[in-house]
Amino acid sequence: MNIEILERKENPLLDREEITFELHYDGESTPARLAVQSKLAALLNADAERTIIRKIEGKFGRQVSTGHAYIYPSVEIRDKVEAAHIIKRNTAGGDDE
């Protein structure tokens, strides 16, 4: 799995960094959300716990997906801004969509 950062911008209103990325996974199935989260966090030198994968959209017939992620400066700010179901989806006990 390879991740290519397409756009990276600061959102001072919500106190987060917003990332748009492209995910390449030749010969594999679509990677799990937690695997993408940990790899993206490592790529951007961020803590995986503060990294939220908001969306991963596959492209039909191709092994490429685009996604959106947010990186928060602290877990407390993440918990204030993000909905509970999104946080659950991005933790080890959450749903993997």
For residue range 30-88, what is the model confidence (pLDDT) as tens digits? 889 999 999 999 999 999 999 999 999 988 888 899 999 999 999 999 999 999 999 99
Q: How far apart are CA 73 and CA 11, in angstroms?
A: 12
Q: How far apart are CA 47 and CA 52, in angstroms?
A: 10
Is 48 part of any domain?
Answer: yes
Mean pLDDT: which of 22-31, 36-45, 87-96 is highest?
A: 36-45
Q: How far apart are CA 1 and CA 23, in angstroms?
A: 7
| CATH number for position 79 | 3.30.70.330
Unique residue bearing structure tokens 């993997």: 96
Is 96 part of any domain?
Answer: no
Is 62 part of any domain?
Answer: yes
Is 34 part of any domain?
Answer: yes
Quote the pLDDT of residue 95. Answer: 54
Is 84 part of any domain?
Answer: yes
Is 97 part of any domain?
Answer: no
pLDDT band at 97, cuts 50/70/90? Answer: very low
Q: Which residues pair with 55 in a beta bridge?
A: 68
Unique residue bearing structure tokens 């679509």: 30
Number of structural domains the chain divides into:
1
pLDDT band at 93, cuts 50/70/90? Answer: low
Is 14 part of any domain?
Answer: yes
